[in-house]
Amino acid sequence: MGHELAAGPRCTGFAEWNRYAAVNDEFVPIHMDDEEGRRAGYPGAIMMGRLQWSYVHRLLREWLPPQGRIVSVALRFREPTLRGALFDVKARVIAVRTEADEHHADLEVWAEDETGKVLAPGTATVAVPA
């Protein structure tokens, strides 16, 4: 327990957001246009929450062995991630247990900015065969 994972710093911009929006049909102006973001009270366009969630999912998938599975992921979006901002996705194992024929790990997960400020805290549970 206490094992910490980090995806490594990343910086996303219009190209990544546009690809995500195209796949998910999420061309919402606040996510694509700085002026719309400012009208909503932010310094500019803000990252899609589900895109941030997908980065958490990716971290877990890359950490798990091929036979592992993600049972659940939940995030609370506290602060926006702005276009071009440096951020990281991290996780920490907080509990391990065995249920039936699987080992389950409960994790604290979060996205943080380059100063360490938590933008989106959450939880996850993963499972691997026993």
Token duo for residue 30: 């606040």
The confidence score (pLDDT) of residue 78 equals 94
Give the span between the Cα atoms of 106 and 89, in whole angstroms: 16
Distance of CA 4 to the CA centre of its chain: 15
What is the full per-residue pLDDT of the chain (130 aa) written as tens digits?
788 999 999 988 888 888 989 998 888 999 999 999 999 999 999 999 889 999 999 999 999 999 999 999 999 999 999 988 999 999 999 999 999 899 999 999 999 999 999 999 999 999 999 9
Per-residue 3-state assignment (H helix, E strand, C coil) for 76-89 = CCCCCCECCCEEEE
Token duo for residue 125: 């549970």
CATH class (in words) of the domain with range 4-129: alpha beta
Determine how β-strand 10-11 pairs with β-strand 69-75: unpaired
Kindly report the pTM of this predicted structure: 0.89
Yes or no: say if 1 and 107 are a contact pair by the CB < 8 Å rule.
no
Domain boundaries along the sequence of the chain: 4-129
